[in-house]
Amino acid sequence: MSGERTAAIRLYLINPCNPLVSLTRVKESRWNRYRVWKPLSLMVLAGLTPADWEISIVDENLGVPDYSAMPRPDLVGITAFTSQANRAYEVAAHFRALGVPVVMGGIHATMCFDEVAQRVDSVVTGEAEGIWSGLLEDARHGSLKRRYDGGLADMNAVPLARHDLLVGGYAFGAIQTTRGCPLNCTFCSVTAFNGTQYRQRPIPDVVREFRSIREKLVLIVDDNLIGTRTEHIARAKDLFRAMAQANLRKEWIGQATINFADDEELLALAAKAGCRGVFIGFESPSPEGLAELGKKSNLLKGRDFRASVRRIQRHNILVAGSFIIGLDVDEPGIGKRIAEVAGHYGVDNLNALFLTPLPGTRLWDQMKLESRVALDTFPEDWKYYTLTFPVARYKHLSTDGIIEEMISCDRDFYSMPRILRRVWSSFWHRRKPLICLAGNLSCRRNLRLDCKAYADFQRQHGNGHDWVKQS
């Protein structure tokens, strides 16, 4: 872009797809529609953009458009998780070949600045609130800098996201009420990216933004919706009270640590504010595993996970439990063990993932040091960093072995008798048996697709990178 322009300036904000990501396989199961989520980062960027920019948000998860048939933009902004980096570079190359400047931001750009800087015109590291309007001014004058570092934003500066720009095609809307996480688990990027300081948006902003969301169902994307300290919980209660009082008529799901279960008033307020489901990271069935991952909050002495899950469910809130396979303490049989433990805890859904070193995490540093990052032909291999492929060398499990563990975990947990038992329990406790059934059947159906993806992966990568064989 060169020279000053007074007419509207065209900005494309793009969320690249990853063809290997099962979450978007809507065709295979209608219920997968409920797993395609809105790219909130781009709606926030749009909220920060002055009115004289004409903005189009493109979410490739809904289908890859024919960019050459679209009007030429003046500037392209791309967001990407690590698993989307390859596709992000393809999109960037397309527009750069047309002479359109490309800016990339988000978690991958922040963690892998050097790699990204080689492929786009300008890289934004950190949160965008403090630098986006200046960047747009620079773009307008044809003087984009190579790097803008937004650091951590002041939560008063977080704009209302432009929910009006992405309508149709989604089952859930999305909103954020806090950033950062007071915990610092070894495998997680959140603390490295958003900091340990737990920052909360002003409650009136959240309520106002909620009102602008069209969808009845909403994902609250916060990594840790309630926090850990007394003052965090007090704020969460205030937020839920304000949401209930505003009579938003929304139902929402969120992410929290297991301490969500420890406060009856908090649970009652969350349910009243529309909470219908919560993702909880249990991570490992053993205290040794939890210690290895630095998940201190789950190590509380005397914690009874089963009773905690029940307490949450009593408020008509579904619990989806997440576990990780591939820890140094994990031995053959871990898959079945996780399925058993998740069944014992009584979670409604189980999400088991492979231990994955994501750039910028402590796990990454450790595995790099020990030469255990197996799939390291970057950027090509980033597409496997979805947590659904074994990309590392695992201490007691070969590549084939860990895949078998994952399959046996899912097969056990999603076996028909176990699904029916869960649905019956949900019915008996007057919860939501139909939603429980649909969610479980959808996961069971996806298992077949996962097995095919593993077979393709094994064909391409074999067992050549096994740690077990080498050590």
Q: Which amino acid is at 110?
A: T
Nearer residue to ligand B12 within complex by CB, 23 or 64: 23
Q: Is there binding between residue 183 and ligand SF4 (CB under 6 A)?
A: yes
Stretch that binds ligand B12, among 188-196, 204-212, 230-238, 415-423 (CB under 6 A): 188-196
CA neighbor of 198 nearest in space, from 220, 222, 182, 214: 182
Q: Is there binding between residue 177 and ligand B12 (CB under 6 A)?
A: no
Q: Is there binding between residue 107 and ligand B12 (CB under 6 A)?
A: yes
Given candidates 59, 127, 209, 223, which one binds ligand SF4 under the rule CB under 6 A?
Answer: 223
Q: In what order do the strands lie in the sheet with 147-149?
A: 53-59, 9-15, 75-79, 102-105, 122-125, 147-149
Q: Is there binding between residue 39 and ligand B12 (CB under 6 A)?
A: yes
Q: Looking only at residues 365 through 404 of this chain, which bind ligand B12 when binding is defined by CB under 6 A? A: 386-387
Given candidates 60, 138, 209, 223, which one binds ligand B12 under the rule CB under 6 A?
Answer: 223
The tokens describing 220, both together, are: 């609250």
Burial level of 328, CB count in 10 A (0-12/13-18/19+)? Answer: middle
CA 160 to chain centre: 20
**Start-to-end CA span in the chain (Å):** 55
Coil, helix or strand at residue 179: strand
CA neighbor of 13 nearest in space, from 39, 31, 51, 32: 39
- From residue 262, give the alpha-carbon distance in Å to each of 300, 310, 337: 12, 11, 26
CA distance 44 to 160: 7
Given candidates 9, 40, 144, 258, which one binds ligand B12 under the rule CB under 6 A?
Answer: 40
Given candidates 1, 9, 45, 248, which one binds ligand B12 under the rule CB under 6 A?
Answer: 45
Give the total of residues touching ligand SF4 (CB under 6 A): 11
Partner touching 308 among ligand B12, ligand SF4, none, CB below 5 to 8 Å by kind: none
Q: Looking only at residues 263 through 322 of this chain, which bind ligand SF4 when binding is defined by CB under 6 A? A: 281
Coil, helix or strand at residue 169: coil
Query: Are 335 and 400 spatial neighbours (Cβ–Cβ below 8 Å)?
Result: no
Nearer residue to ligand B12 within complex by CB, 359 or 423: 359
Given candidates 43, 107, 181, 375, which one binds ligand SF4 under the rule CB under 6 A?
Answer: 181
Burial level of 416, CB count in 10 A (0-12/13-18/19+)? Answer: exposed
Partner touching 257 among ligand B12, ligand SF4, none, CB below 5 to 8 Å by kind: ligand SF4
Q: How far is the CB of 463 from ligand SF4 (least distance, A)?
A: 29
Q: How far is the CB of 194 from ligand SF4 (least distance, A)?
A: 9
Given candidates 47, 73, 105, 390, which one binds ligand B12 under the rule CB under 6 A?
Answer: 105
Partner touching 79 among ligand SF4, ligand B12, none, CB below 5 to 8 Å by kind: ligand B12
The tokens describing 6, both together, are: 């007074």
Stretch that binds ligand SF4, among 66-74, 118-126, 177-185, 268-276 (CB under 6 A): 177-185
CA distance 303 to 98: 58
Partner touching 84 among ligand B12, ligand SF4, none, CB below 5 to 8 Å by kind: ligand B12
Query: Are 399 and 311 spatial neighbours (Cβ–Cβ below 8 Å)?
Result: no
Query: Are 166 and 138 spatial neighbours (Cβ–Cβ below 8 Å)?
Result: no
Partner touching 191 among ligand B12, ligand SF4, none, CB below 5 to 8 Å by kind: ligand SF4
Nearer residue to ligand B12 within complex by CB, 115 or 433: 115
CA distance 195 to 358: 16
Stretch that binds ligand B12, among 113-121, 189-197, 240-248, 261-269 (CB under 6 A): 189-197
Q: Is there binding between residue 188 and ligand SF4 (CB under 6 A)?
A: yes
Q: Is there binding between residue 415 and ligand SF4 (CB under 6 A)?
A: no
Stretch that binds ligand SF4, among 170-178, 188-196, 326-334, 431-439 (CB under 6 A): 188-196
Given candidates 32, 49, 79, 257, which one binds ligand B12 under the rule CB under 6 A?
Answer: 79
CA distance 103 to 109: 10
Nearer residue to ligand B12 within complex by CB, 106 or 289: 106
DSSP letters along 60-117, please? Answer: GGG----GGGSPPPSEEEEE--GGGHHHHHHHHHHHHHTT--EEEESHHHHHTHHHHH
Coil, helix or strand at residue 264: helix
CA neighbor of 389 nearest in space, from 461, 310, 437, 340: 461
Nearer residue to ligand B12 within complex by CB, 84 or 200: 84
Nearer residue to ligand SF4 within complex by CB, 191 or 442: 191
Given candidates 185, 319, 327, 373, which one binds ligand SF4 under the rule CB under 6 A?
Answer: 185
Residues that bind ligand B12 (CB under 6 A): 15, 18, 21, 23, 37, 39-41, 44-45, 77-79, 81-84, 103-108, 111, 124, 127-129, 132, 153, 176, 188-190, 194, 221, 223, 358-359, 386-387
Residues that bind ligand SF4 (CB under 6 A): 181, 183-185, 188, 190-191, 223-224, 257, 281
